Amino acid sequence: LPQGPTNHSQFSGKWFLVGVASKCDYLREYNHQLEATTMVVSASEGKSLAISTFRKLDGVCWEIKQQYHSTKAQGRFLLTSRSSNVDVVVGETDYSSYAILYYQKLRKISIKLFGRSVRVSDAIVGKFEQRITEMNMSEDFTYYFPTYGESWLSCCSVQRGLSSSAPWDTGNVPSNFYIHVWN
């Protein structure tokens, strides 16, 4: 994985998931169901990053909270879980318009393109696609997320009716992984 610089305060804020490249079987099978996804990053104590990911699914807004723990290498983070850890690397960013992040879990790599707005320039998409090629992936494994505009997220930030029932066994969810659901 590449090693990139990260200024935690400049990296903080709202990021829209623009695209992902991954050989994940789930994405290959269900890529037609991708929904707009937003990540809100804030610097936390110890130079870790607190991540809240928002996405709407079947009319319900989901918030997933995670902690990316800093490592000794600049721009590298560790997302811990009970099953296996995920190495997260900020490979490239200009802080103001885009970020390319690499995620590695059990020797499998995914590359994600985030933008400060729902759309990024063709030049940035070109950089993303170049990074995909460098990781020996092709467009067959690249998926772009729908752009509904920024207003779709208002459901998450306005409504705060926490649902008490999760549709899965929460006993297997890592202790640093929180899921909030709003109707």
**pLDDT, position 99:** 96
Confidence of residue 5 (pLDDT cuts 50, 70, 90): low
**pLDDT, position 124:** 97
Report d(CA 161, CA 172) in Å as an integer: 24
Unique residue bearing structure tokens 């020996």? 136
**pLDDT, position 131:** 95
Task: Give residue-wise pLDDT tens across range 51-88.
Answer: 998 887 777 788 889 999 988 888 899 998 888 899 99
Q: How many CB atoms lie within 10 A of CB 160?
A: 8
**pLDDT, position 183:** 33
* Exposure on the CB side of residue 49, measured as CA atoms within 13 A: 27
Query: What pTM was computed for the model?
Result: 0.79
Task: Give residue-wise pLDDT tens across range 138-155.
Answer: 888 998 887 764 444 554
Query: Among candidates 37, 96, 92, 88, which has minimal Cα distance to 67?
Result: 88
Report d(CA 91, CA 77) in Å as an integer: 11
**pLDDT, position 24:** 82
Report d(CA 155, CA 120) in Å as an integer: 24
Residues 6+ apart with CB under 8 A from 39: 14, 15, 16, 17, 51, 52, 53, 54, 114
Confidence of residue 45 (pLDDT cuts 50, 70, 90): low
Two structure tokens written together for 2: 């590449």
pLDDT for 13 beyond 60:
yes
Two structure tokens written together for 134: 């460098």
What Å distances lie between residue 155 and 8, 167, 182, CA to CA? 27, 20, 8
Task: Give residue-wise pLDDT tens across range 16-44.
Answer: 999 999 988 777 776 767 777 888 999 87
